[in-house]
């Protein structure tokens, strides 16, 4: 993943003092264009990395900063350790890496960096649950992403159809405790839920990845497409203004307040994949919510109400 490469670039610059984009590309097994973009990204981010043209030139850290981890300032070092520190609480590898990073910092930075690393922690387990461990499949796929090797997947889709496909693994995303693999296929970019991957067999075939691919931008595109499918139906409802935060908690980004009325109620727009999905969420509110439109959501609510009345009428 790109973050891993950027750290590797910084450590190589620190160790060697100066490298060319071609040397970096060979070391990290990426294209020269990708290596050059990584170097430019570090420079744009404020890291003191600069190019020297001509024979014997290359990219260097300002002042040959070899005793200071990538020439980071005190503020930058604290920001880095605030990000890495929480991961060390749940990963032995991250903890070991953190210790090495601390030793690479100038003495004057170490105290603040160590304090930043221990300022927060991650507890991924919900109340009442057993300790949660990252699926072993994620580790296998992550290794394939880093090594840039194709993987033969056995995958079960939402219709429970099992298929095999050879993919180029590009990156992994953990969203709300569900892992996703973004990969290249013979049909273009695809997203696979890791919990639906029945088997994964790494190969020694080099994986292809577009030079301009970034995991963050690719994932944002996936999120946009999914959220669009999740809001194909919109309903207008009236509810007391004080309950709008509750609706917002249920519907998330698919809850919009249009206006607050004089009677203390608010006009709210709610989105979901189907009229039935909206009706299911609203049925428990009873008469506290009035659905203004569409008729399809009103009809689903009426049907649910009739089913409940039929089942429980006369029950003692």
Span 233-312 CATH architecture: 2-Layer Sandwich (3.30)
pLDDT score of 255: 94
pLDDT score of 59: 81
pLDDT score of 229: 84
pLDDT score of 101: 65
pLDDT score of 69: 52
* Contact call for residues 86 and 120 (beta carbons, < 8 A): yes
Name every residue whose Cβ is closer than 8 Å to that of residue 9 and which is 6 or more positions away in sequence.
Answer: 24, 28, 35, 38, 39, 42
Q: Where are the domains of the chain?
A: 2-117, 136-219, 233-312
pTM: 0.55
Q: Which of 294, 232, 241 is nearest to 264 (CA)?
A: 241
CATH code, 136-219: 2.30.30
pLDDT score of 185: 93
For residues 166 and 147, give the distance between their C-alpha atoms in angstroms, rounded to a whole number: 16
pLDDT score of 244: 95
pLDDT score of 80: 66
The CATH class of the 2-117 domain is mainly alpha
Residue 122 token pair: 């991650």
Residue 28 token pair: 């990290």
Alpha-carbon separation of residue 249 from 161, 243, 276 (angstroms): 34, 10, 19
Q: Which of 32, 2, 39 is nearest to 18 (CA)?
A: 39
List average pLDDT for each run of 10 residues in the chain, which is 316 residues long: 65 75 82 83 72 74 52 63 60 63 62 64 64 78 90 91 93 85 93 93 93 89 87 95 93 92 95 94 94 96 93 78
Tell me if residue 180 falls in helix, strand or coil: strand
């Amino acid at each position: 993943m790109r973050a891993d490469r950027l750290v590797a670039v910084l450590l190589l610059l620190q160790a060697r003092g100066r490298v060319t984009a071609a040397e970096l590309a060979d070391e990290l097994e990426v294209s020269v264009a990708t290596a050059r973009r990584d170097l430019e990204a570090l420079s744009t981010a404020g890291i003191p990395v600069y190019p020297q043209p001509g024979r014997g030139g290359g990219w260097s850290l300002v002042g040959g900063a070899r005793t200071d981890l990538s020439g980071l300032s005190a503020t930058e070092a604290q920001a880095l350790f605030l990000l890495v520190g929480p991961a060390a609480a749940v990963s032995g590898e991250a903890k070991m890496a953190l210790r090495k990073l601390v030793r690479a910092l100038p003495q004057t930075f170490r105290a603040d960096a160590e304090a930043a690393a221990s300022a927060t922690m991650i507890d991924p387990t919900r109340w009442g649950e057993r300790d949660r461990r990252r699926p072993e499949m994620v580790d296998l796929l992550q290794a394939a992403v880093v090594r840039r090797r194709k993987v033969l997947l056995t995958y079960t889709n939402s219709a429970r159809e099992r298929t095999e496909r050879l993919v180029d693994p590009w990156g992994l995303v953990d969203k709300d405790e569900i892992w996703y693999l973004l990969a290249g296929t013979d049909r273009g970019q695809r997203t696979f839920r890791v919990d639906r991957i029945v088997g994964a067999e790494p190969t020694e075939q080099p994986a292809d990845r577009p030079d301009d691919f970034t995991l963050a931008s690719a994932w944002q595109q996936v999120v946009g497409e999914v959220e669009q499918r999740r809001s194909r139906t919109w309903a207008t409802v009236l509810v007391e203004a004080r309950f709008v935060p509750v609706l917002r908690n249920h519907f998330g980004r698919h809850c919009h307040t249009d206006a607050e009325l004089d009677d203390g109620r608010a006009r709210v727009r709610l989105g979901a994949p189907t009229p039935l999905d909206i009706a299911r969420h609203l049925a428990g509110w009873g008469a506290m919510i009035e659905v203004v439109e569409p008729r399809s959501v009103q009809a689903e609510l009426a049907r649910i109400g009739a089913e409940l009345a039929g089942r429980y009428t006369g029950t003692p």
